[in-house]
Amino acid sequence: MFELRKIESFELPELQPYRTMRRQQEQRDQGIFVAEGEKVVRRLLESRLAVVSVLLPEKWLASYEPLLQARREEIQVFIAEKKLLETLTGFSMYQGLLAIGKVPPPVSLERILVESVRPRLLAAVDRLASAENIGALVRNCAGFGAHALIVGETSGSPYLRRAVRNSMGTVFQLPIVETGNLAGALRELRAHGVRCVAAHPHTDRKTISQADFTSDVCVVFGSEGDGISAAVLAECDEAVAIPMPPMVDSLNVGAAAAVFLYEARRQRGT
């Protein structure tokens, strides 16, 4: 169901989230996020996540109407020309489609352990501030069949606008565990028989082809600059590296995640 409204004034209270898209923490505090682009907005409407509103040029309405009609909640659909929408949002829009969704309720680590099929394949991230890189990591987790992503207290939220966009909407399907104590979460995983493997480029002990990913495993990723913190690294069972030539320090975290998760899938024959 949806209510169609043509924009005549930018002062409508319902348009506030679109006017303040750069205030991402403010939106996070409200429990909402912005979906941007045709594929991402479509995947949001196809998901189970609650949708508040959609903002789009009129030419897109016909193709989105079946999805909007199929939704159970009442969605406000705002229509305006693309140039007018860019005036509202404050930046150039390639397709002119935006939507506001509600951040889903928190997922607990206990729930992931109970519901995920064994052998479990989990990923965790420490000290990753870049929303674009977090989005890429989410997309790789979804693409290679990870059961969940655990986001530590020193990392940005996967529901930031740029993270949602870079995930191409896969964040709507991947279970996300946001924890205030990543080291403690890894300790709990190990207590349940999940091996924690640090994707750590600064190691001369073991390479990715020598590691065993066939049992329950959580691969821990850090930022490109600072890597994994000492406290989190201490909770990992082992550190594993992707072999690199001397002149290259490491891969982008999104690329590294793709390599590790692909290797896990390969070893499992899936």
Tens of pLDDT, residue by residue over 184-199, are 999 999 999 999 999 9
- Flag whether pLDDT at 241 surpasses 70: yes
In this prediction the pTM is 0.92
Q: What is the pLDDT of residue 204?
A: 65
Return the domain boundaries, the chain.
Answer: 2-102, 109-268
- Flag whether pLDDT at 203 surpasses 70: no
If one compares 30 and 184, the residue with the highest pLDDT of the two is 184
Average pLDDT over residues 7-17: 81
Average pLDDT over residues 230-249: 89
- Flag whether pLDDT at 172 surpasses 90: yes
Mean per-residue pLDDT over the chain, rounded: 91
- Flag whether pLDDT at 83 surpasses 90: no
- Flag whether pLDDT at 89 surpasses 80: no
Q: What is the pLDDT of residue 93?
A: 62
Amino acid identity at 242: I
Domain 2-102 and domain 109-268, same fold? Reply is: no
Average pLDDT over residues 201-223: 89
Burial 157-184, CB ≥16 within 10 A → b, else e:
bbbbbbbbbbbbbbbbebbbbbbeebbe
DSSP code per residue over 18-53: HHTTT-HHHHHHHTEEEEESHHHHHHHHHSSS-EEE
Average pLDDT over residues 219-244: 92
DSSP code per residue over 120-148: PEEEEEES---HHHHHHHHHHHHHTT-SE
Grade residue 244 by pLDDT with cuts at 50, 70 and 90. confident
Give the separation between CA 247 and CA 257, rounded to whole angstroms: 21
Residue 106 tokens read as: 């928190």
Could you read off the pLDDT of 59-72 as tens digits, one per residue? Answer: 899 999 999 999 99
Give domain 109-268's CATH superfamily.
SPOUT methyltransferase, trefoil knot domain (3.40.1280.10)
Give the separation between CA 139 and CA 43, rounded to whole angstroms: 13
Q: What is the pLDDT of residue 251?
A: 82
If one compares 150 and 82, the residue with the highest pLDDT of the two is 150
Percent of the chain with pLDDT over 90: 72
Average pLDDT over residues 145-172: 96
CATH 3.30.1330.30 at 2-102, yes or no: yes
